[in-house]
């Protein structure tokens, strides 16, 4: 068990390092001089050179990377070009907003998708199920930024129920959450349905039914507890992916999370801020994934992590 955890932690660190290194190199290859964004208007070449020196961009890329690594081991991720503050602090300020949004979205998704998927599995091959099935396909077919805009047009512009963008009150979270949840509900409910159909048709269920177990208990205690494992895994993966930035939804709603932060940082060529965001979000997503994997044996006694890894 301990060996497994250590191995996974090692993999996590390696993956995060790989992601940051890739982004680091790509950023320095991309056209566009960051110094030009932070110089006074019509800068002289001396001024530009001074800014490049200040940011450390005058060094060759391998030297820059080595310096970055040295600072990283001392816990220093770099100073944001734009905010002139430690990039890590900027990211950590924005992170709670993204986590709040991701948690809200995953709660709404689970609350709707699981009953919906179970219902679809029990009503398999009936006309209402066909309707729900087509509905879930429609749900995963709409561009998320477009759903966001349509919700804004309906509820913010025409009905004035919500402020059009940003984060001013607790109610601001509703529209972005709904926007994310529509796609996730469509995906997760189809997974729940698929898993439940397999379990509802399996022999152990027929045996239980012949012993007179009620349909409700058959559905939830028998079939669902077996279908739950892949569903929880999928929810965990989805949640981890959301921490990596619900970029588009945050941009649509001006939500002050890390996704919006990183898109702006990209526009401003704020290298340290982009690197810090990638580092933090990738690490966080990997940690969530690790926790889900470690929860496996608690949910399913058939899984023994130590044996699986050796």
Partner 1 sequence: MTTSTNLPGHPQVPNLAEVPGSILGRESAVTKVLLRRSAAARRARYSTIKIWVGAICAGVVVIPVVLAGVLPLPDPIVGALSESSLPPFSAGHLLGTDPNGRDLLSRILHGGQTSLVIGFLAIFVSGLFGIVAGAAAGYFGGWVDTIISRLLEAQMALPLLLMLLLVVALFGPSIPVITLVIAFAQWPEPARITRALVLVEREKPYVAAARVLGLPKFSILSRHVVPNILQQVLVVVLLLLAQAVLLESALSFLGAGVQRPYPTWGGIISDGRELFVTGKPWLVTVPGLAIALLVVGVNLVGDGLRDRVRRAKGDQT
Which residues here bind partner 1, judged by CB under 8 A?
15-16, 18-19, 22-23, 26-27, 29-32, 124-126, 130, 133-134, 137-138, 140-146, 149-150, 152-153, 157, 164, 194, 197-198, 201, 244-245, 247-248, 251-252, 262-263, 266, 274, 278, 281-282, 285-286
Least distance to partner 1 from the beta carbon of 236, Å? 13
Distance of CA 253 to the CA centre of its chain: 17
Which long-range contacts link 258-263 to residues 24+ away (Cβ below 8 Å)? 258/91, 258/94, 258/95, 258/97, 258/98, 259/98, 260/94, 261/90, 261/91, 261/94
Name the residue nearer to partner 1 (CB basis): 23 or 72.
23
Name the residue nearer to partner 1 (CB basis): 111 or 291.
291
Least distance to partner 1 from the beta carbon of 30, Å? 4
Least distance to partner 1 from the beta carbon of 308, Å? 16
Least distance to partner 1 from the beta carbon of 129, Å? 9
- Asked if residue 253 lies in contact with residue 165, where contact means CB atoms within 8 angstroms, the answer is yes
Query: What are the angstrom distances between the C-alpha of 42 and each of 46, 52, 221?
Result: 12, 16, 70
Least distance to partner 1 from the beta carbon of 176, Å? 15
How is residue 12 written in tokens?
């996590």
The CA distance from 288 to 232, in Å, is 12
The CA distance from 246 to 180, in Å, is 8
- Asked if residue 5 lies in contact with residue 308, where contact means CB atoms within 8 angstroms, the answer is no
Name the residue nearer to partner 1 (CB basis): 50 or 263.
263
Name the residue nearer to partner 1 (CB basis): 106 or 262.
262
**Residue 56, by phi and psi: left (phi above 0), alpha (psi -120 to 50) or beta?**
left
Query: What are the angstrom distances between the C-alpha of 284 and each of 27, 213, 281?
Result: 22, 43, 5
Name the residue nearer to partner 1 (CB basis): 5 or 50.
5
Name the residue nearer to partner 1 (CB basis): 45 or 125.
125
Least distance to partner 1 from the beta carbon of 121, Å? 10
Name the residue nearer to partner 1 (CB basis): 30 or 61.
30
Least distance to partner 1 from the beta carbon of 150, Å? 6
Name the residue nearer to partner 1 (CB basis): 16 or 113.
16
The CA distance from 262 to 27, in Å, is 13
Beta carbons within 10 angstroms of residue 248's beta carbon: 18
CA-wise closest residue to 183 among 151, 157, 158, 156? 151
Least distance to partner 1 from the beta carbon of 50, Å? 25
């Amino acid at each position: 068990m301990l060996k497994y955890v250590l191995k996974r932690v090692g993999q996590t660190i390696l993956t995060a390092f790989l992601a940051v290194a890739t982004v680091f190199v790509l950023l320095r290859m991309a056209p566009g001089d960051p110094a030009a964004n932070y110089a006074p208007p019509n800068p002289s070449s001396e001024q530009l050179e001074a800014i490049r020196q200040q940011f450390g961009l005058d060094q060759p890329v391998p030297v820059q990377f080595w310096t970055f690594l040295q600072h990283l081991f001392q816990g220093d991720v770099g100073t944001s070009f734009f905010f002139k503050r430690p990039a890590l602090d900027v990211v950590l300020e924005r992170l709670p907003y993204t986590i709040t949004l991701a948690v809200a979205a995953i709660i709404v998704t689970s609350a709707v998708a699981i009953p919906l998927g179970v219902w679809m599995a029990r009503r398999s091959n009936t006309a209402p199920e066909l309707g729900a099935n087509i509905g879930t396909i429609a749900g995963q077919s709409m561009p998320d930024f477009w759903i966001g805009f349509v919700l804004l047009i309906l509820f913010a512009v025409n009905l004035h129920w919500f402020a059009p963008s940003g984060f001013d009150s607790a109610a601001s979270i509703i529209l972005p959450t709904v926007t994310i949840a529509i796609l996730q509900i469509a995906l997760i409910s189809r997974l729940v349905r698929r898993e439940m159909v397999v379990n509802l048709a399996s022999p152990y269920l027929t045996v239980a039914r012949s012993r007179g177990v009620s349909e409700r208990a058959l559905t939830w205690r028998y079939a669902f507890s077996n279908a739950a494992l892949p569903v929880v895994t999928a929810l965990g993966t989805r949640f981890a992916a959301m921490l990596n930035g619900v970029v588009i939804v945050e941009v649509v709603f001006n939500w002050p999370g890390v996704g919006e932060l990183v898109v702006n940082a990209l526009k401003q060529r704020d290298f340290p801020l982009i690197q810090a965001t990638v580092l933090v979000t990738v690490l966080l997503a990997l940690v969530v994934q690790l926790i889900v994997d470690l929860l496996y044996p608690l949910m399913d006694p058939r899984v023994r992590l130590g044996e699986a890894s050796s």
